[in-house]
Chains A and B, each alone.
Chain A
Amino acid sequence: SYVLTQPPSVSVAPGQTARITCGGNNIGSKSVHWYQQKPGQAPVLVVYDDSDRPSGIPERFSGSNSGNTATLTISRVEAGDEADYYCQVWDSSSDHPGVFGGGTKLTVL
């Protein structure tokens, strides 16, 4: 089955840029989606189809996907961005197609 690999943690100072990676075999050929989850809350979609943003999500959140790595980029990081972030793909070739990465804890220093 398809595996997505994320770093367990990323730390960044306020105002700087955070980059969270999601690795997978030829992930560039798939559509990658990203979720933000704050403690005690349900996940919220922040990027879909590699780089599109749902309405209400700040432009500071962006995504890219190429080769074996997809990246969620958060510009001008704010304290309120501190959360767990998960990447997700749909592996259409599988009979258990839903796949999440292990998650990355973003810490704002």
Chain B
Amino acid sequence: EVQLVESGGGLVQPGGSLRLSCAASGFTFSSYEMNWVRQAPGKGLEWVSYISSSGSTIYYADSVKGRFTISRDNAKNSLYLQMNSLRAEDTAVYYCAREPQRGNWFDPWGQGTLVTVSS
């Protein structure tokens, strides 16, 4: 069974840092492109970042560029999101999501991890 499990969320003060992880299982992780998508409380989905299967190509949303860093460890079947200089508006549930080998949709998604930025 294909599975994605996020971890690392929690409460952090404005200006602080947090590192999210996404553990993948049930598929050959190194062959798939991955994304982070977030959802602020009561709001819609917002795409955050993309990383290619090798890690050589990376994209970010303007709202996080320069503050967030996406990375992956294919040997550990894991995806990461390092979040620095956190702001209140970064408060959201963060999902990791897999792209297919052909196409640019997201399937499946993890269950999400909540990040709360507050003093």
Instruction: Find out whether the CB atom of A49 lies under 8 angstroms from the CB atom of B112.
Output: no
Number of A-B contacts (CB under 8 A): 70
**Is residue A45 contacting chain B, with contact meaning CB distance below 8 A?**
yes
Q: Give CA–CA (A59, B80) in the complex, Å.
A: 36
Q: Quick one: which of B50, B62, B103, B112 contacts A31, CB cutoff 8 A?
A: B103
B22 to chain A, nearest CB (A): 12
Contact status of A100 and B105, CB under 8 A, knowing A42-B95, A42-B112, A43-B95: no
Among B13-21, B39-47, B84-92, the stretch that binds chain A is B39-47
The docked-state distance in angstroms from the alpha carbon of A44 to that of B104 is: 15
- Does B73 count as interface, using CB distance less than 8 angstroms? no
Decide yes or no whether A51 CB sits under 8 A from chain B: no
Q: Which of B88-107 contact A (CB under 8 A)?
A: 95, 103-107
Q: What sequence of 0s and 1s flags, for each residue 42-86 of chain A, a beta carbon within 8 Å of any chain B beta carbon? A: 111100110000100000000000000000000000000000101
Q: Which 4 A-B pairs have the closest CB atoms?
A: A98-B47, A90-B104, A33-B105, A45-B107
Write 22 A-B pairs (CB below 8 A) sorted by A numbering: A31-B103, A31-B104, A33-B105, A35-B106, A42-B110, A42-B112, A43-B45, A44-B109, A45-B107, A45-B108, A86-B45, A96-B47, A96-B59, A96-B60, A96-B65, A97-B50, A98-B37, A98-B50, A98-B59, A100-B44, A100-B45, A103-B44
